[in-house]
Amino acid sequence: MKRSERAALIHERLAELYPETPIPLDHEDPFTLLIAVLLSAQCTDERVNRITPALFKRANTPKKMAKVPVTEIREIIKPCGLSPRKSKAISELSNIIIDQHAGQVPQTFEELEALPGVGHKTAGVVMAQAFGFPAFPVDTHIHRLAQRWGLTSGKNVKQTETDLKKVFAEEAWNQLHLRIIFYGREYCTARGCDGTVCELCQTCYPNRKSAKKTRKA
């Protein structure tokens, strides 16, 4: 089976399994989505969703967040992990959004990635889910599955993103990145599937007998 054929099969099956693609992180607007995505680094979405109500009750705009002491932000978000770094980034980016972007979350990759604590993946999620810009944010779930499905050689997330953008139509990117995450969490987990167990792995590679070794992101 060619890569393009695997991609078409995967696209069709994921659309059947997940016709709706709700954003896993609870948020109210681009700013709260940005903060939630930042907090999700090395933390589950479920835990982030348990933490953000208290944080956003305290401050849900850049102006309000900039007034909250970093120590207070850190205490609220501590269960998410990496709280010293994340709290500092949240405070600093809030001030930058006020000073340089008139209090509005910027709508370009370049400006988003210039914010403290915001990498390419975080910027991609915000661009795709807050602003509807075609993007294909690649996290560890997507990176792992793309390798198992033979859609990329997977040296790093940057290469995986490039490869996925080549095999899937641009208008499908925003939904697909969520659908792959949903599938990875439900059927093709890091421990539950080794490239030979789940439906899509078996369909893409019916003759694969041994575990598929994947490169870390």
What are the average pLDDT values for consecutive 10-residue runs of the chain, which has 217 residues? 94 97 96 97 94 97 98 97 96 98 97 97 96 94 94 90 96 96 94 94 94 84
Helix (H, G, I), strand (E, B) or coil at 55: helix
The number of helices, as runs of H, and strands, as runs of E, in the chain is 12, 0
Would you call 121 a catalytic residue per the annotation?
yes
| 177 domain residue, yes or no | yes
SS3 assignment, position 32: helix
Cα dist from 209 to 69, 94, 102, 134, whole Å: 55, 51, 57, 37
Determine the structural domain holding residue 10 and report its residue range.
Answer: 3-20+136-204
Per-residue confidence (pLDDT) for residue 141, from 0 to 100: 84
Among 121, 158, 166, 213, which one carries the catalytic annotation?
121
For residues 117 and 90, is the Cβ–Cβ distance under 8 A?
yes
Task: Show Cβ contacts of residue 193 under 8 Å, excluding neighbours closer than 6 positions.
Answer: 148, 187, 201
Please give the pLDDT value at position 121.
94
Chain position carrying tokens 């925003």: 174
How many structural domains does the chain have?
2
Q: Are residues 36 and 125 in the same domain?
A: yes
Fill in the amino acid letter for 155.
Answer: K
Give phi and psi for 25, each to the nearest 5.
-95, 125
- Residue 187, CA distances (Å) to 75, 149, 201 in order: 35, 13, 10
Domain endpoint, select from 71, 101, 129: 129
Given the residues 139, 165, 166, 216, select the one marked as catalytic: 139
Look at residue 183 and tell me if it is in a domain.
yes
Domain assignment of residue 174, yes or no: yes
Residue 216 forms part of a structural domain: no
How many residues are present in the chain? Answer: 217
Q: What does pTM read for this prediction?
A: 0.92
Question: For residue 110, what is the domain's CATH number?
Answer: 1.10.340.30
Residue 211 within a domain: no
